[in-house]
């Protein structure tokens, strides 16, 4: 096991991690950023990003993350490809193990590990990812303006995304595997009072249909009767939840029942001094690139102030 001491360690490389790196680098904190198993995060699975400020013509998701990385490196961030496999926040300074072979001790740790969208697990779903299949209606709904779409899910997020899509799409099929919605009462009422949302109860997805280039429909079946039918759609949205990539922090940090890390409201601070959380690892409400970047800024500023206070204490 090799060992190393750094001032700031950033775990994760999406908009939150890279923004934290930009701010920390400019503050002279010489951050080391470990990319994680999916360098660039969820945006690397998105073809077109049109709602991030500063890209008036839109931008390819992977290209955008390359831009973020270049900017972080320009100011001196040490970007390393690897995976933090375990951490130890039981004593200060904090420790992290990278790829089970390298130990980094850090005065401040910024967690930016993000979350992963849950999918149904169908082969056809994978085949048409970014060709009509999406896990974010707010991100990608615009591309299906004026076109019929389907959405899978029955919780608050699904209800919210269905009503969002109903504002721009003539028809929204809401595929719900039970005979009721799990969403809150007010969200259920919104769905039921939106005329162009058709809820398909006791219904599950068998296959996403397409022409090889784009989604053209979806085959569903009633899990009570077995009856199958094909729906003609152009977009297929999955809204069955996200799983935060936070398992390695369970022993040390507070999290909710889903795994989102808890912070002191209005900050990126956790219950452990010197450990900060940014982006989708903590945000279960907005989950947008621009909000993740904003939280990355908060994490770096909080870490900088923490380190300044530490230096003052020991001076």
What are 292-310's pLDDT values in tens digits?
999 999 999 999 999 999 9
Residue 220, classified by CB atoms within 10 Å of its CB into exposed (0-12), middle (13-18) or buried (19+), is buried
pLDDT band at 49 (very low <50, low <70, confident <90, very high): confident
Distances (CA, A) of 137 to 55, 247, 288: 20, 27, 11
pLDDT at 30 exceeding the cut of 70? yes
**What average pLDDT does the segment 49-57 reach?**
91
Q: What are phi and psi of 119, to 5 degrees?
A: -120, 170
Q: Is the peptide bond before 93 cis (omega within 30 degrees of 0)?
A: yes
Give the residue among 82, 64, 83, 61 at the shortest CA–CA distance from 72. Answer: 64
Active site residue: 48, 67, 78, 140, which one? Answer: 140
What are 249-279's pLDDT values in tens digits?
999 999 999 999 999 999 999 999 999 999 9
**What average pLDDT does the segment 75-103 reach?**
97
What local confidence, expressed as pLDDT, does residue 39 receive? Answer: 84
Active site residue: 78, 88, 107, 136, which one? Answer: 136
Active site residue 139: yes
Active site residue 169: no
pLDDT at 195 exceeding the cut of 80? yes
Q: pLDDT above 90 covers what percent of the chain?
A: 87
Active site residue: 139, 169, 280, 302, which one? Answer: 139
Active site residue 140: yes
């Amino acid at each position: 096991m090799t060992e190393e001491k750094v001032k700031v360690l950033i775990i994760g490389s999406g908009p939150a991690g890279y923004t934290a790196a930009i701010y920390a680098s400019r503050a002279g904190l010489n951050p080391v950023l470990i990319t994680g198993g999916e360098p660039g995060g969820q945006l690397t699975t998105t073809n077109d990003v049109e709602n991030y400020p500063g890209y008036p013509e839109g931008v390819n998701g992977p290209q955008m993350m390359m831009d973020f990385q270049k900017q972080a490196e320009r100011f001196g961030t040490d970007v390393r490809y690897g995976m933090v496999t375990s951490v130890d926040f039981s004593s200060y300074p904090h420790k992290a193990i990278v790829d089970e072979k390298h130990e980094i001790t850090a005065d401040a740790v910024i967690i930016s590990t993000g979350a992963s969208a849950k999918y149904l697990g169908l082969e056809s779903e994978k085949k048409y990812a970014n060709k009509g299949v999406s896990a974010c209606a707010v991100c990608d709904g615009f591309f299906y303006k004026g076109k019929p779409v389907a959405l899978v899910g029955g919780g608050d997020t699904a209800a919210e995304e269905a009503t969002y899509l109903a504002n721009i799409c003539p028809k929204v099929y809401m595929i719900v595997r039970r005979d009721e919605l799990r969403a809150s009462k007010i969200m259920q009422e919104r769905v039921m009072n939106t005329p162009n949302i058709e809820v398909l109860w006791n219904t599950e997805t068998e296959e996403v249909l397409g022409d090889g280039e784009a989604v053209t429909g979806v085959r569903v079946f009633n899990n009570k009767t077995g009856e199958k039918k094909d729906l003609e759609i152009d977009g297929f949205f999955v809204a069955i939840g996200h799983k935060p990539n936070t398992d390695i922090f369970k022993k040390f940090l507070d999290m909710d029942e889903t795994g989102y890390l808890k912070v002191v409201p209005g900050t990126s601070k956790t219950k452990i001094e010197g450990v900060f959380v940014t982006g989708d690892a903590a945000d279960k409400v907005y989950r947008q690139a621009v909000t993740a970047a904003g939280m990355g800024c908060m994490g770096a500023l909080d870490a900088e102030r923490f380190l300044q206070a530490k230096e003052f204490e020991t001076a």
